[in-house]
Amino acid sequence: EVQLVESGGGLVQPGRSLRLSCAASGFTFDDYAMHWVRQAPGKGLEWVSGIGWNSGYIGYADSVKGRFTISRDNAKNYLYLEMNSLRGEDTAFYYCGKGQSSVAAAPVDFWGQGILVTVSS
């Protein structure tokens, strides 16, 4: 059974950093691209970042480029999102998503339950 479990969320002050983790199980992790998608309270879905199976073909939303860094550890079956210089508008539920294939140009086919990040003083 595919499982994606996010961790590392919580309350953080503006300007500070936070690292989200996503533990993957139930599939061959290094066969698939992975993504982060977020949703501000009461708003729609926003794709944040994606990474290919071998950490190639990395992309970011314009809203986070230069502040967020996606990475993965295929030996540990973990996906990460390092978030720096956090702003109030980064407040959202963050979802980890499994890509449909190894290539990053493939949609999410399975989602984690999400974790809340709140940026506030």
Partner 1 sequence: DIQMTQSPSSLSASVGDRLNITCRASQGIRNHLAWFQQKPGKAPKSLIYAVSSLQSGVPSKFSGSGSGTDFTLTISSLQPEDFATYYCQQYQSYPFTFGGGTKVEIK
Residues of the shown chain interacting with partner 1 in the complex, contacts defined by CB under 8 A? 35, 37, 44-47, 50, 59-62, 95, 100, 104-114
- Min dist CB 109 to partner 1, Å, is 5
- Min dist CB 27 to partner 1, Å, is 13
With contact defined as beta carbons under 8 Å apart, do 63 and 84 qualify? no
Closer residue to partner 1 (CB): 37 or 79: 37
- How do 78-83 and 59-60 pair as beta strands? unpaired
- Min dist CB 13 to partner 1, Å, is 27
- Min dist CB 121 to partner 1, Å, is 27
With contact defined as beta carbons under 8 Å apart, do 51 and 57 qualify? yes
30, two tokens: 């290094």
Closer residue to partner 1 (CB): 2 or 14: 2
Judged by phi (left if over 0) then psi (alpha if -120 to 50, else beta), residue 90 lies in alpha
CA 14 to chain centre: 19
Closer residue to partner 1 (CB): 73 or 109: 109
Closer residue to partner 1 (CB): 50 or 119: 50
